[in-house]
Amino acid sequence: MRTLIIAEHNGQHLNEQVARAVTAAQQWQQPVDVLIAAAQPDALAAQAATLQGVSSVLVASDAALQHPTAEHLADIIVPLAANYTVVLAAHSAFSKNVLPRVAALLDVNMLSDVLEIVNTNTYVRGIYAGNVLATVQNRDAIQVLTVRGSKFAAAATGAAAEVKAITTPAAPAGSRWISEAFNKSERPALTAAKVVVSGGRALGSADAFAQVIAPLADKLHAAIGASRAAVDAGYAPNDLQVGQTGVVVAPELYIAVGISGAIQHAYGMKDSKVVVAINQDPEAQIFKIADYGLVADLFEVVPQLTAAL
C-alpha cells in the first residue's frame, strides 16, 4: 500500500512544510505520493518531484483550484484513498480545514498535530495546550493525520519522481471563494523563520509594538510574532499570533518581549532552540521556559539590544 501527502502551496511555491511531511511519511516504509491540486500545477509538481522519498506526484488540475475549497479538495482526495493506507499533511490552517472532512467522508478517525510517529498506527500528540503528551493508537484501516512540521527534518531535493495527472471532479456548489487578504511583509514567514521576535501586552499600543519590535526584527532578519493578549488588544494582526490557537513555531532563537508566558502561548514556542525573555515582572511564567531572562523595562533594553546588533 501507499502513503499520500496533501501538498500545501500558494499557487507558485510549495509550502516548505511539504518536505517535512515527506520525511514523516517515510515512517511507514511504503511508497509516498504527493498530491498537487492547483489551477496551474506544472511548476508545483516539478518542485514536489525533486523531493527525495517521493515515488510519484499526482496532479489534479482545475481552474477552480486557484482558490480551492475544503469541499472540492475532499472530493478530489476521497476517491484516491482506496489506494492508500495513510493520508497525511503538515499541520496548518490549510490542512486542518481539509483533512477532517476527508477522514469523515472515509468514515475513519483523524489525529491532529502529531509530534512523533511511534509506529504505523500509534502517535504522540499534545493535549491541554501541549501540557500533556498523549500516546494514541488509531486502529482504522486508513490513517489520516497532520504532523507538526518542526518535529521532522525537511526531505532533501535532487530526486525526479514521476508526475501523473489524475481525474479532477468539478468544484461542488455550496461554497465559493470570494477574496483573500494577506498581510504583506518582507519578513520571513513566521513558521519558517530562524529567528522570531514576539511582542506581548506590555507593549501597550499598536504604535509601540511597531516601534519597538520591528527594528529588532529587522536587525535579526526575524519574523514577528505576538501573544494572544497583544493580538486581542489590536497591537498586531491575528496571523502573527503564536500559541495554542495561533501558529506553532520552533525557530533557532525566540525573543519574547513583554510576554507573560501563559500556557497557551508557551504551546506555540517552547520547542524553540534558544528562548530569550524580556519582561519587567520577575515572576512572569515566561522566565521558566526561557534560556536567558532579562528583568527590565522593555522600552529601555529592546532599543539598546537593537542598537548593539
Partner 1 sequence: MKALVAIKRVVDYNIQVRVKADGSNVDIDGVKMGINPFDENAIEEAIRLKEKGIVTEIVAVTIGGAANQDILRHALAMGADRAMLVETQETLHSLGVAKVLKALVEREQPQLILLGKQAIDDDAGQTGQMLAALLKLPQATYASQITIEGNQATVVREIDGGTQTLAVSLPAVITADLRLNEPRYVKLPNLMMARKKPLENVPLDSLSVSLTHNVQQLKVATPPERPAGIMVKDVNELLSKLRTHEGIIG
Chain centre distance of CA 46: 22
Closer residue to partner 1 in complex, CB, 17/27 = 17
Q: How far is the CB of 141 from partner 1 (least distance, A)?
A: 9
Q: How far is the CB of 223 from partner 1 (least distance, A)?
A: 11
- Any contact of residue 206 with partner 1 (CB under 8 A)? no
Closer residue to partner 1 in complex, CB, 158/283 = 283
DSSP state of 51: S
* Angstrom distance (rounded) from CA 135 to CA 301: 42
* Member of 40, 135, 157, 205 binding partner 1 (CB under 8 A): 135
Is residue 94 within 8 Å of residue 202, measured between CB atoms?
no
In the shown chain, the binding pattern of residues 93 to 112 toward partner 1, with x for contact by CB under 8 A and - for none, equals xx-xxx-xxxxxx-xxxxxx
* Angstrom distance (rounded) from CA 118 to CA 295: 40
Is residue 177 within 8 Å of residue 213, measured between CB atoms?
no
Closer residue to partner 1 in complex, CB, 208/253 = 253
- Any contact of residue 70 with partner 1 (CB under 8 A)? yes
Tell me the CA distances in angstroms from 274 to 197, 216, 218, one per residue in order. 12, 17, 19
Residue count of the chain: 309
Kindly indicate which of the ranges 57-65, 155-163, 204-212, 231-239 contains the residues binding partner 1, using the contact rule CB under 8 A.
231-239
* Member of 37, 59, 195, 284 binding partner 1 (CB under 8 A): 195
> How wide is the angle at C-alpha 264 spanned by C-alphas 263 and 270, nearest 5°?
75
**Strand ranges in 22-63 using DSSP code E only, listed in sequence order:** 32-38, 56-61
- Any contact of residue 244 with partner 1 (CB under 8 A)? yes
- Any contact of residue 160 with partner 1 (CB under 8 A)? no
C-alpha cell at 165: 495527472
Q: How far is the CB of 160 from partner 1 (least distance, A)?
A: 30
In the shown chain, the binding pattern of residues 138 to 157 toward partner 1, with x for contact by CB under 8 A and - for none, equals xxx-----------------
Positions 6 through 35 that interact with partner 1 (CB under 8 A): none
Kindly indicate which of the ranges 22-30, 46-54, 56-64, 67-75 contains the residues binding partner 1, using the contact rule CB under 8 A.
67-75
Positions 257 through 286 that interact with partner 1 (CB under 8 A): 263-264, 270, 273-276
Enumerate residues 6+ apart whose C-beta is below 8 A from 257: 197, 198, 199, 200, 202, 203, 212, 213, 216, 278, 279, 298, 302
- Any contact of residue 85 with partner 1 (CB under 8 A)? no
